[in-house]
């Protein structure tokens, strides 16, 4: 999917809530005023605007002004000699039926991948040199020169919707929060673009922080926000290690003329195995004999039968900003009713007539799924008190992050 379409989908979703993204707006400065506000100055076409908010989240990229103003270090390394121009473009002269790759140590690399359902292609190419022998900056002209040199074919590149330079640039913030200001996405961690790990990790950062901010703004204790850094810093480290290993494998394949970007696409790059088992928000009440999924795991999708014999897809049940209590087996019925009666209004419950293989459960079990799709609690079928205690702890602040 082209990046421009991803951004369009997010803007359209925001518009459904009456929120409009203000393009052409720059954060000039900000300060934390008092104990409960952040005040920011924004530069717009109409002049400078002052904005006051409860929290500020810096999602402003690898050169993040927010991170720099907070004084957060961004340690790592950059391999300037290994770089590609990347972007989403339209292409004439090729049928959109394959991922085309030209890999030559002398002529350079060009990879063109059609993006399904659109007229766009993603391109990755060795930047040609300018008149001074320096790599050209991203542009349609630079891409066309790279394509002409590497392919020798009448292929025309035009109408770019997004362009950037990809380097082996591996850096990570040492913390994700200072007071009421947070970092997410590339502002917190940068790494090679392989496998879209950056986009996926940034969205995961935002969702992890977003549901916690929502609870705190609705009255939960602010200490819940400490778990954002506790959970996401280890994932950032994993992402850096995984993307670097993949990028190096790709460069070795390309420079050897034996393969391309597919060398770095592994099961790990799907990110479906990421977990928060060590998090202070993960509680397992089943003991050592519980088996199956664990608190902190990503809740697997599955198609299951409910108690009426109707098919239910779990990803549809999870979808939305709510907690979901799953009861796997008829023995969970009483506990689900008790939690539904005493729990938060937006809690969704689902009683299932089976224990799907994806969950690996040996007995009827309660599984509480967080808004971000991770399992917060596993408990025996009748232990409604454990579920209500867990949900209550999020609201009264007795859950606090472990020392990172």
Q: What is the pLDDT along the chain (404 residues), one digit of tens a residue?
A: 777 788 899 999 999 999 999 999 999 999 998 789 999 999 999 999 999 999 999 999 999 999 999 999 999 988 777 788 999 999 999 999 998 999 887 888 899 999 988 889 999 999 999 999 888 999 999 999 999 999 999 999 999 998 988 877 899 999 999 999 999 999 999 987 765 688 889 999 999 999 999 999 999 999 999 999 999 999 999 988 888 777 777 777 766 666 666 766 777 778 888 999 999 999 998 865 456 899 999 999 999 999 999 999 999 999 999 999 999 999 999 999 999 999 998 899 999 999 999 999 999 999 999 999 999 999 999 999 999 999 999 877 555 544 33
Q: In the structure encoding, which two tokens stand for residue 367, read together?
A: 């599984």
- Sequential DSSP letters for 299-342: PPP-EEEBTTS-EEEHHHHH-SSS-EEEEESGGGHHHHHHHHHH
Region of 163 (left: φ > 0; alpha: ψ -120 to 50; beta: rest) is beta
Strand partners, 123: 87, 112
Of 328, 304, 324, residue with least CA distance to 374 = 324
Which residue stretches of 111-225 are H helix?
A: 140-151, 197-217
pLDDT of residue 399: 56
Distance CA 322, CA 315 (A): 13
Of 345, 291, 350, residue with least CA distance to 326 = 350
The two domains 77-169 and 283-396 share their CATH topology (first three levels equal): no
The vertex-232 CA angle with 246 and 168, nearest 5°, equals 30
Of 273, 297, 272, residue with least CA distance to 284 = 297
Q: Judge whether 378 and 295 are in contact, CB under 8 Å.
A: yes
Distance CA 144, CA 156 (A): 7
- Please give the CATH architecture assigned to the domain spanning 54-73+174-270: 3-Layer(bba) Sandwich (3.50)
Distance CA 141, CA 156 (A): 10
Asked if the 77-169 domain carries CATH number 3.30.2290.10, the reply is no
pLDDT of residue 404: 31
pLDDT of residue 290: 54
Where exactly are the structural domains of the chain? 1-28+39-48, 54-73+174-270, 77-169, 283-396
Q: 252: part of which helix (H) or strand (E)?
A: helix 226-255
Of 381, 395, 370, residue with least CA distance to 285 = 381
Instruction: Using DSSP, state whether 25 is helix, strand or coil.
Output: coil
Which residue stretches of 71-178 are H helix?
A: 140-151
Strand 108-114 and strand 100-104: pairing?
antiparallel
Record the pTM.
Answer: 0.85
Enter the CATH code of domain 283-396.
3.40.30.120
């Amino acid at each position: 999917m082209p990046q421009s379409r991803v951004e369009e989908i997010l803007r359209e979703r925001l518009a459904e809530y009456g929120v409009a993204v203000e393009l052409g707006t720059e954060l000039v400065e900000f300060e934390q005023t008092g104990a409960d506000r952040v005040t920011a100055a924004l530069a717009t076409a109409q002049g400078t605007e002052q904005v006051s908010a409860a929290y500020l989240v810096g999602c402003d990229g690898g050169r993040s002004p927010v991170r720099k103003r907070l004084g957060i270090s961004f340690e790592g390394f950059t391999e300037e000699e290994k770089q590609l121009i990347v972007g989403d473009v339209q292409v004439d002269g090729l049928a959109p039926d394959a991922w085309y790759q030209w890999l030559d140590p002398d002529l350079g690399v060009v990879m063109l991948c059609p993006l399904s359902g659109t007229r766009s292609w993603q391109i990755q190419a060795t930047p040609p040199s300018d008149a001074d022998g320096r790599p050209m900056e991203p542009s349609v002209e630079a891409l066309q020169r790279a394509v002409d040199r590497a392919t020798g074919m009448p292929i025309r590149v035009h109408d770019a919707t997004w362009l950037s330079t990809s380097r082996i640039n591996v850096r990570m913030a040492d913390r994700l929060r200072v007071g009421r200001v947070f970092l997410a996405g590339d502002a917190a961690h940068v790494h090679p673009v392989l496998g879209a790990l950056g986009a996926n990790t940034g969205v995961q950062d935002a969702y992890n922080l977003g549901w916690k901010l929502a609870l705190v703004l609705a009255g939960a204790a602010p200490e819940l926000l400490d778990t954002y850094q506790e959970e996401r810093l280890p994932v950032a480290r994993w992402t850096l290690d995984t993307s670097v290993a993949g990028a190096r494998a790709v460069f070795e394949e390309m420079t050897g003329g034996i393969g391309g970007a597919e060398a770095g696409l592994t099961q790990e790059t799907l990110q479906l195995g990421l977990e928060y088992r060590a998090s202070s928000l993960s509680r397992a009440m089943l003991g050592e004999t519980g088996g199956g999924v664990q608190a902190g795991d990503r809740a697997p999708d599955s198609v299951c039968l409910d108690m009426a014999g109707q098919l239910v897809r779990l990803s549809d049940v999870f979808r939305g900003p709510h907690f979901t209590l799953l009861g796997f087996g008829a023995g969970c019925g009483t506990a689900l009713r008790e939690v539904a009666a005493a729990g938060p209004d937006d809690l969704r419950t689902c009683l299932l007539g089976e224990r799907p293989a994806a969950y690996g459960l040996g007995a009827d079990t309660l599984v509480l799924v967080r808004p971000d799709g991770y399992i917060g609690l596993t408990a025996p079928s009748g232990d409604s008190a454990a579920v209500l205690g867990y949900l209550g702890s999020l609201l009264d602040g007795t859950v606090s992050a472990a020392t990172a």
